[in-house]
Structure 1
Amino acid sequence: MRPETLDNLHRILGDKGIVTGADVHEGYYTDPRGLGDVRPNVVLRPASTAELSQIMKVCHDTAQPIVVQGGLTGLVTGARPQHNEVVITMERMNGIESIDVKAGTITVLAGTPLQVVQEAADAAGMVFPLDLGARGSCTIGGNLSTNAGGNRVIRYGMTRDLTLGVEAVLADGTVINSLNGFMKNNTGYDLKQMFIGSEGTLGLITRATLRLYPKPKTQVVAFCAADSFDAVADLMAHMRTGLGADLSAFEVLWAKTYAAVLSDVAGIKAPIPQGHAFYVLVEMMGSDAAHDTEKFETCLGQALENELIVDAVLSRSNAEIDALWDVRDGMAHAMGKQQPSVGFDISLSVADMKVIESELLRRLQAALGDVRLFIGGHLADGNLHLVAKSLKEGPQPRDTIQEIIYGWVGEVGGSISAEHGIGLLKRDYLAQSRSPAELALMRALKLTMDPKNLLNPGRVFDMGTAPMAGNAKAPTP
Structure 2
Amino acid sequence: MSRSDLPAAGAAAASHLAPTLTSGLAATDGGAAALDHLLALRAALGEAAVLIGDAVPERNRNDNSSQLPVRPLAVVRPADAQGVSAALRACAAARLKVVPQGGLTGLCGGARPEDGWVALSLERMVGVQEVDTASSTMTVWAGTPLEAVQRAADAAGLYFALDLGARGSCAIGGNLSTNAGGNRVIRYGMARELVLGLEVVLPDGTVITSLNKMLKNNAGFDLKQLFIGSEGTLGVITRIVLRLHGKPRCTMAALCAVDDHDGVLALLNAARSGLGPLLSAFEVMWPDYWQVVTERAKVQAAVAPGHGRYVLVEAQGTDESVDAPRFQAWLEALMEQGLLKDAAVAQSLSDVQGFWALRDACAEFFQVIGPHISYDVSLPIGAISDYARECKAALLAEGIAGRPAGAGIESIYYGHIGDSNLHLVAWSDGLSLPEQPKARMDAVIYGLVQKYGGSVSAEHGIGTQKRKWLGHSRSEAEIALMRTLKSALDPQGLLNPGKVI
* TM-score where L is the length of structure 2: 0.89
Structure 2: distance between partners of 1:165 and 1:277? 44
Q: Deviations over 1:341-360 (max 9, x none)?
A: 32210011122112123211
Measure the CA separation in 2 of the matches of 1:264 and 1:364: 22
What are structure 2's unaligned runs of at least 5 residues?
1-24, 26-33, 400-405
Deviations 1:260-291 (A, max 9, x none): 1123436x212212111211100010112221
Is the aligned partner of 1:422 residue 2:462? yes
Which residue in 1 is equivalent to 2:169? 137
Give yes or no for the alignment of 1:213 onto 2:253: no
Percent identical:
47
What residue number does 2:269 align with? 237
CA distance in structure 1 between the partners assigned to 2:247 and 2:216 by the alignment: 23
Matching residue's letter, 1:224: C
Distance 2:224 2:386 in 1: 38
State the SS of the aligned residue for 2:415: strand
Choose from 414, 421, 425 the match for 1:387.
Answer: 425
Q: Which residue of 2 aligns with 1:467?
A: none
Aligned residue number for residue 15 of structure 1: 47
Task: Return the offset for 1:6.
Answer: 1.7
Q: Does 1:282 align with 2:313?
A: yes
Kindly name which structure, 1 or 2, has the bigger radius of gyration based on alpha carbons.
2
**Displacement, 1:361?**
2.4
Cross-structure match for 2:500: 460
- Out of 38, 63, 67, the residue aligned to residue 95 of structure 2 is 63
Residue of structure 1 in register with 2:208 after alignment: 176
Map Cα deviations across residues 99-118 of structure 1 (whole Å, 9 max, x no partner): 01111000000000001110
What SS does the corresponding residue of 1:291 show, helix, strand or coil? helix
Shift of 1:392: 8.4
Tell me the residue number matched to 2:291. 259
Distance 2:227 2:67 in 1: 27
Name the structure 2 match of 1:464: none
Q: Quick one: which amino acid aligns to residue 26 of structure 1? A: E
The separation in 2 between residues aligned to 1:379 and 1:326, in whole angstroms, is 17
Q: Cα offset for 1:393?
A: 6.9
Total equivalences in the alignment? 460
**Distance in 2 (alpha carbons) for counterparts of 1:160 and 1:84:** 32
Task: Give the alignment partner of residue 302 of structure 2, picking from 258, 265, 271.
Answer: 271
Q: TM-score under structure 1 normalisation?
A: 0.94
SS in 2 for 1:68: strand
* Aligned residue identity for 2:101: Q
Partner Cα distance (1:430, 1:441) in 2: 13
> Equivalent residue for 1:411?
451
Give the Cα–Cα distance (whole angstroms) in 2 for the partners of residues 416 and 299 of structure 1: 35
Deviation at 1:25, TM superposition (A): 2.3
Of stretches 245-254 and 281-290 in structure 1, the one that deviates more from structure 2 is 281-290
The residue correspondences of 1:248-397 to structure 2 (distance < 5 A) are 248-265=280-297, 268-334=299-365, 337-368=368-399, 369-370=406-407, 371-391=409-429, 395-397=435-437
Aligned to 1:450: 490
Q: Is the 8 A contact 1:32 1:75 kept in 2?
A: yes
Task: Give 3-state SS (helix, strand or coil) of 2:321's partner.
Answer: coil
Structure 1: gaps spanning 5 or more residues: 462-477
Correspondences of 1:47-58 after superposition (within 5 Å): 47-58=79-90
Compute the displacement of 1:309 (Å): 1.4
Corresponding position of 2:22: none
Cα shift at 1:449: 0.3
352-361 or 407-416, which deviates more? 352-361
Output the CA distance in 1 between the equivalents of 2:110 and 2:431. Answer: 30
After TM superposition, give the deviation of residue 306 of structure 1 in Å: 1.8
Structure-1 separation of matches of 2:419 and 2:493:
34
Give the C-alpha shift of residue 366 in structure 1. 3.1
Runs of 4+ that moved beyond 4 A: 391-394
